[in-house]
Amino acid sequence: MELYILSKQDLRILSICKVIDYEINLDEETNAKSTFSIMKTEGLKDGNYIVLNGLYKQFLFVIPSGGIETEKNSNKVTLNVVDISNIFDRKIIEKNTEQMEKLSIEQFISNTIVENFVNSNDIPLNMGYINIYWNTNTKGVVETNAENGLYNFREFLVNSRKKKNIYIDFKFENGKLKINIEKKQENEEMIDTTLPEVTEYNKIYEEEVTAKVQVYIRENDSEYNLYLRTDRTTTTDRSDPNRASGKIEVISVDKEEKAAEEANNIMKNNNYKHLVEFKISKTSELMDVKKLYIGRPIIIKTEEDTYNSYISAIKLTDENYIYLKSGNLRNMLLDKLKANKNSIGNKLDKSGGVISGNLNVNGNININGTPILDYEIIDEW
């Protein structure tokens, strides 16, 4: 396994070295760091690139500030690096967002990279070695979540993947950093946790929910209340039938115009975690581990149920397994039960149900094959 160190200035190869030990952590939620142990060599400097060859795929990283640890009286060095997408981990000025609908989200991303990172007015800091390509054009809107006119561009790229399946792929090629922007609509990969090649299956469920924010408005001694709904949206309707359960948060503001914004800020802090983690053999013949990348949609089959999700984290050590973690799960069985429980309409399935709307019958009514010609409503629903 070889590790290449490339210059952040012009992508020159500064060193090629052997890896003593490593732990790769890819996690778009936490932006986790990966660790490599090597001997002292040239090019150990913040901002330089790390290319790792020798595993089932090539991995690309960048050395962040403070990412180099040395040991006293030793030539051993520990690199704490982050995914290469962190070259875009900084705030930029929000502008030209209308391009997402007029042109496409992919073109907006490309234009934003060029303007802020490749061809800005600060020439010494430009990354002129970046070549950008996009193969799809998706019109729509991805929120920048800007505050005071600024937003984090890497976080925007993560949201573009989550909301619109737009991926940003990096590759060093012919002295350039090739960035490919593309909407991917891949089929869900089946992960069968009952197979012997899948081990250490674990289900995690955590939820810390504020279900109501009560805002006291000091200027007129009034209240503003915001409620959480079961689909994680919010409402000001106290009688909403889909209100969620949870704790109450009480805050105070001086002006009425600030109430809604401050209440929404509290709701945004709600923490939902419902996921699974497991390991898959690197040499699996039943599942192609090369297809398991961050964001890849998956179907997780367990002994008790089946879940829809995506790959949110990948961890590799020198073991023979790849550790994987899903994003928030969607339980298809629970979806069906919830649909039956909350059914409103005029249709019964073959196993029965409760009608809470109007029932229209076309044809005869039969009970056990016997037509019923006369009937009466015994009770009202």
Q: Where are the domains of the chain?
A: 2-87, 90-183, 210-269
Q: Which residues contact 259 (CB under 8 A, 6 or more apart)?
A: 215, 217, 224, 253
pLDDT at 184 exceeding the cut of 60: yes
- Share above pLDDT 90 across residues of the chain, in percent, rounded to a whole number: 48
3-state helix, strand, coil in the chain (%, to 5): 15, 40, 40
User: What is the pLDDT at residue 365?
Assistant: 54
Task: Label residue 260 by pLDDT band (50, 70, 90).
Answer: very high
pLDDT at 360 exceeding the cut of 80: no
CA distances, 115 to each of 84, 108, 266, 290 (Å): 19, 10, 34, 34
Taking each helix axis as running N to C, give the angle between helix 105-113 and helix 153-164, from 0 to 180 degrees, rounded to the nearest 10.
160
Which tokens sit at 332?
């298809």
User: What is the pLDDT at residue 330?
Assistant: 55
Task: Label residue 285 by pLDDT band (50, 70, 90).
Answer: confident
pLDDT at 185 exceeding the cut of 90: no
User: What is the pLDDT at residue 271?
Assistant: 64
Q: For tokens 């994987």, what's the residue?
A: 324
Task: Label residue 182 by pLDDT band (50, 70, 90).
Answer: very high
State which amino acid sits at residue 311. I
Mean pLDDT over the full length of the chain: 83
User: What is the pLDDT at residue 222?
Assistant: 94
Which tokens sit at 192?
């069968």
Task: Determine the Cα–Cα distance for residues 155 and 140; give it in Å rounded to an integer.
Answer: 17
pLDDT at 234 exceeding the cut of 50: yes
- pLDDT per position as a tens digit, 2-32: 899 999 999 999 999 999 999 999 987 788 8
Q: What average pLDDT does this structure show over 130-152?
A: 92
Task: Label residue 338 by pLDDT band (50, 70, 90).
Answer: very low
State which amino acid sits at residue 175. G
pLDDT at 170 exceeding the cut of 60: yes
- Share above pLDDT 70 across residues of the chain, in percent, rounded to a whole number: 84
User: What is the pLDDT at residue 309?
Assistant: 83
User: What is the pLDDT at residue 336?
Assistant: 42
